[in-house]
Chain A
Amino acid sequence: MITAVRIPGSLASAAEYAAAGGWIMAGGTVVMAQVNNGSVDASELISLRAAGLSGIRVADDMVHIGATTTFREVAELEFLADAVRTIASPSIRNLATVGGNLFVPQPYGDFAVCLLALDATVHIAGSGENRAAKVGEPLARGEIVTGVSFARPAAGTWFYRKAMRRKLNSAAIVAVAAVVHTEGGVVSSARIALGGVAPRPVRAVSAERVLVGRWLDAAALDEAGAAARADIEPFDDAYASAWYRTRVLPVHLRRAVLR
C-alpha cells in the first residue's frame, strides 16, 4: 500500500527520497498501473513531475532530452517522429516519458531500443557524483536518470521499423533501430539495436559485423538478419512466439533499412 507520494522540487531532494527506498515515478504509465494492480513493492512514490527534468535541447547536432520529457514532445524531433508514433497511443504519449521508457520491460520500451542504436549517453544523478552510463546499465539505489543525450544521425543514416500485430498501439514483435553509414554504397559503420526479441534491448553485433564493408543491398541485409539470430534471446508472449520472432527477424531487419 502506498503511504506517501513525494513531489520533490529539486533533483537533490528526489535523490534523498530515492535513497530511502521509494519508487521513482515520472509519467506514471507503468508505475500507476502497478499501483492499481497492487504490485508496487514500495510504500512511497517519488514523482519527478516538479524536479525540473523536462525539455529538449539541440546544440551542434547533439540532442539532449530531459528524463521527464513526454513522447508527445519527443515527436517534435523530426527524425524520431515515426518511431515515437509506434509507441503506445497519443493519450499514453501525453504522459509517458523518455526516462521511464528505459525501465520498461520488453516487448515494450521501444525508445530504449532507439537510444541503444543511437549510442546514447544516459545521465545519472544520485547521492554521489553525477555519472554518465550506457543504455541498459543498472542503477544503484538512490540514483535517478536525469536525461539522455546523443548525436543526431546524419540525413539518411537513421532507420527504424517495428513489427506489430496492429498498425498502432501494440507491443513489438520485432523492433529494429539502426544507424548505418555508407561510403559510395559500401557500409562503413553500422549500429543496430533490436527490441521484442530479448528480455532487454540488444545490439545485433553479429549483423553489424556482416554489413560492414558490404554493399547495402537485400542480399547483405538478409545475411545480416540471419546472423542477428545469434544475438537474441526471444520469448513467447501474447503477441508472438519466440519461434515466430526468430523467423521474421531477418525480414524486418531488411525492411527497416531498405524500406
Chain B
Amino acid sequence: MASTVVSLRLNGRPAEFLARPGTSLLSSLRDSLGLMAAKRGCAQGGCGTCTVLLDGRPVMSCLVAVETIEGASVRTLEGVAADDGRLDAVQSAFLDGFATQCGFCTAGMIMVAESLLAGNPDPSRDEVVEAISGNVCRCTGYASIIAAILDAARRKREVDVV
C-alpha cells in the first residue's frame, strides 16, 4: 500500500511526486502536480481529453500507470506556450479559427496536433482526421478543429521558411 516516489521530466523540467499504487498519470498531473489542462473525461481511453505526450507520442494519460513510466518525458498543454506566455502555432490557430466551443476536448486535441505536426509538417486532411480519431468533441466542432490544425501546419511551415 506504500506510495512510490515517481520522477519525470515534465514540460522540460524535473518533477518528483508521490503516487499511490495504480495511480494514473492523469491523476498525478491533476491531483499531485496541479496541472489541470489534461481533463478527466471517461477514464476509459474513449474520449481523448486527457491526451498528453509521453516521450513525444500522444497517449491517453488516464490509461498510464504512473509508476511504470519512471524517468519518462511528459509534455502537457501547460508546456506548449513559450515561457513568456506567447501561444504557439497550434494554439494560435485554434484561437483565431474559433476551434474551441466548450473547451473540454481542446487540451487533448492540441496535444495530438502538436505530435502530428512535429512528425508531419504538411499533413493531408485525412491524416489530421486519423490523428484526432481518438479525441471526442461533443460540441461536434470537428470541422473547425481540423481546419485549425491544417492552418497551424501552414503557420509552422511559413515560420520555418523565414
Is B117 interfacial (CB 8 A cutoff)?
Answer: no
Query: What's the tally of chain B residues with a CB closer than 8 Å to chain A?
Result: 29
Interchain CB contact under 8 A, B22 and A45: yes
One digit per residue, 1 when the CB lies within 8 angstroms of any chain A CB and 0 when it does not, for chain B 33-65 equals: 000000000011100100100100111101111
Taking the complex as formed, is B10 at the interface, i.e. its CB lies under 8 A from any CB of chain A?
no
Given contacts A90-B130, A91-B51, contact A32 B58 (CB under 8 A): no
A155 to B96, alpha carbons, bound, how many Å?
48
Question: Are A7 and B54 CB-contacts (below 8 A) given A91-B59, A91-B134, A169-B133?
Answer: no
Query: Is the C-beta of A186 less than 8 angstroms from some C-beta in chain B?
Result: no
> Within A1-30, which residues are at the interface with B (CB < 8 Å)?
1-5, 7, 25, 27-29
Q: Verify A5–B21 contact, CB threshold 8 A.
A: yes
Expressed in whole angstroms, the minimum distance between the Cβ of B116 and any Cβ of chain A is 9
| Per-residue contact bits, chain A 207-242, to B (CB 8 Å; 1 contact, 0 not) | 000000000000000000000000000000000000
**Which of A33-41, A112-120, A134-142 lines the interface with chain B?**
A33-41
Assuming the A-B contacts A32-B64, A94-B57, are A5 and B45 also in contact, with contact meaning beta carbons closer than 8 angstroms in the complex?
Answer: no
The answer to whether B67 and A36 touch across the interface, beta carbons within 8 angstroms, is no
A85 within 8 A of B: yes
The interface residues of chain B, by DSSP majority, are classed as mixed
Do residues B129 and A32 form an inter-chain contact, with CB atoms below 8 A? Answer: no
Contact A88 B134 (CB under 8 A): yes
Please tell me which one of the listed residues B21, B43, B68, B135 contacts residue A33 in the complex, with CB atoms under 8 A apart.
B43
The number of chain A residues with a CB under 8 A from chain B is 29
- Does B91 count as interface, using CB distance less than 8 angstroms? no
Chain B residues with Cβ below 8 Å from A92 are: 45, 60, 63, 134
**A2-B22, A3-B21, A91-B48 known; A28 vs B65 contact (CB < 8 Å):** yes
User: Apart from A32-B45, A91-B112, what are 16 other A-B pairs with CB-CB below 8 Å?
Assistant: A4-B21, A5-B21, A27-B63, A28-B68, A32-B63, A35-B22, A37-B43, A37-B44, A90-B130, A90-B131, A91-B51, A91-B58, A91-B134, A92-B63, A94-B58, A169-B134
Residues of B within 8 A of A (CB): 1, 4, 21-22, 24, 43-45, 48, 51, 54, 57-60, 62-65, 67-69, 112, 129-131, 133-135
Top 9 closest pairs, chain A to chain B, by CB? A89-B134, A2-B22, A36-B43, A168-B133, A91-B134, A169-B133, A32-B63, A47-B68, A33-B44
A-B contact pairs, 29 of them (CB 8 A): A1-B22, A2-B21, A3-B21, A5-B21, A5-B65, A7-B68, A25-B68, A27-B63, A29-B63, A32-B63, A33-B63, A35-B22, A45-B21, A88-B45, A88-B134, A90-B112, A90-B130, A91-B112, A91-B134, A92-B45, A92-B63, A94-B58, A95-B59, A95-B60, A168-B129, A168-B130, A168-B133, A169-B133, A169-B134
